[in-house]
Amino acid sequence: MKKIVECVPNFSEGRNQETIDAISDAIRNTPGVSLLDVDPGKSTNRTVYTFVGDPSAVVEGALNAARVARKRIDMRIHTGEHHRMGAMDVCPFIPVAHVTMAECVAISKEFARRAAEELGIPIYLYEESATLAYRKKLPQIREGQYEAIKDRIVTPEWKPDFGPAEFIPQWGATVTGARGFLIAYNVNLLSTPNQAHRIALNLREAGRGPEEPGYFNEVKGMGWYVEDYNLAQVTVNLNNYRVTPPHLLFEEVKEQAAQLKVGVIGSEIVGVVPLDAILLAAHYYIEKENLFVLEEDQKVRLAIERLGLNSVAPFNPKEKIIEYMIAQSPAEPLAGLSVRKFIQEVAKRSSAPGGGSVSAAIAAMGAGLGSMVAKLTLGVRKFEDVDAKMRTLVPPLHEAANALIPMIDADTNAFNDYVAALGLPRGTREEISYREEHLQQGLKKAIEIPLSTMIIGDQAWDAMVEVARHGNIASRSDVEVGARALEMGIWGAYKNVVINMADIKDEPYKKETLARAKALKDRAAEMSARVLDIIEKRLP
């Protein structure tokens, strides 16, 4: 799965359009980066850029932007309403998908090291990247702003984490680090601004002061009135949506609004949001309302409806959810083909796609047939007595079928890696060693993929057996075909494990992996026979 990191650098320039555009272009033209938003402010004389990419790409994007700022921004003549201390004032890195906070800490330090070395600028670390408690928060580091740097930076307490401990008048200093994703979130009220603020004080972490803290951690907020909407809002920053997600704050606002006899008419997300935050809301309402929703697009729609995200402006997932904004065509050239074209591709005079890809496709169809029968049984009045049972059987079959689809291409890709290693030079002893090492790696990858196909397929068996036992008997042939297809897919994957194992030199790995694969293959034969036997006994 693709790793996605967000970077939100703030630059001390919001008036010179040429400079704003030059920084935009530097980010936009960085390979692997998607520039999502550019938000300049004339009164603040500050522009906030939002872009995403994989870990290495976001570092390059931030460096490219900093290079432009180094040439074009002069802090000696900068004025504006927003607090600032540098040309690139702050540059946070935020984990969005399949990236840990620790990885983002490493990313921020890599950016800091390279920027300091190349541009000769002082850089401080903050938030999760901070090394000293007394300068963990941005206001602590930025105290006194640009004008105070000259005296502070030469003291031992304020020596930069990277770069020179000296005042660079044109630049100032930069703060970088890793932090959680901040969601700007508003709940709409048919109330006075005072009532909205009263609720906000109850909910925000600071509450009404040290003696009366609020309900939620990692929340900053207030109440205000929005003339454009003709309503009040509880407006908050959710500094860590995994601690306090939007749906929990929304539900608490509803409860408090009800006590004040105030109407709640939905909410809005300002800017972009990670898919994870939306799915957390969906799963909350699915559990709360005992709903049965499997598909991601339906979960997203449920969250949008329950949170009322369309109440003041359309919430278009493709324009608001980060993963959808940067979505590219899936790297599944085989799985994305029509059935006809896939078969024709297999039938060509080439070794890939071969048995491994076909086995994954067959196993996926087997699990899919089990899922189909369970879904056709679910919700049918005639089968109400097994409705609860079907609700537990659909998910593992549905998930197995979908998880097996990517294995179609993964198997071919793994084989291609091995073929690429075969072409490596072998003229010297070092080249021979290097080639052999990569051949072994390629073989192991070519083994791990079909083994993964077997493991994923195996996870469907228990549900398949129960569908045979309790599913609509009118669909018995679908269950039978599904069981045999799933068995055949696992058997085919097993054969791919065995054939690729022949040249493996790691004997402990070979012994352990073959034993595991054989156990999965034998269980598939056993479970398939059990399904067929159950169906046979259910017939009159």
- Give catalytic residues, as residue numbers: 82, 411
Residues 6+ apart with CB under 8 A from 66: 9, 88, 91, 115, 119, 121, 174
- Angle at the Cα of 73 from the Cα atoms of 69 and 78, rounded to 5 degrees: 140
Name beta bridge partners: 235: 186, 222
Helix axis angle for 355-377 and 461-470, nearest 10°, is 40
Residue 391's DSSP bridge partners are none
In the block, tokens 């969005």 appear at: 96
Secondary structure letter of residue 317 according to DSSP: H
340, with CB counted inside 10 A (0-12, 13-18, 19+), is exposed
53: which 2 tokens?
């990419």
Name residues whose C-beta falls within 8 Å of residue 530's C-beta, 6 or more positions apart in sequence: 465, 468
DSSP string, 196-233: HHHHHHHHSTTTTSTTS--S-SSEEEEEEEETTTTEEE
CA 266 vs. chain centroid, Å, equals 25
Q: How far apart are alpha carbons 52 and 326 in whole angstroms?
A: 8
Phi, psi at 429, each rounded to 5°:
-60, -40
> What are 27's two structure tokens?
């980010």
Asked if 203 and 236 touch (Cβ cutoff 8 Å), the reply is yes
For tokens 């800091």, what's the residue?
A: 112
- DSSP at 382: G
Q: How far is CA 328 from the centre of its chain?
A: 14
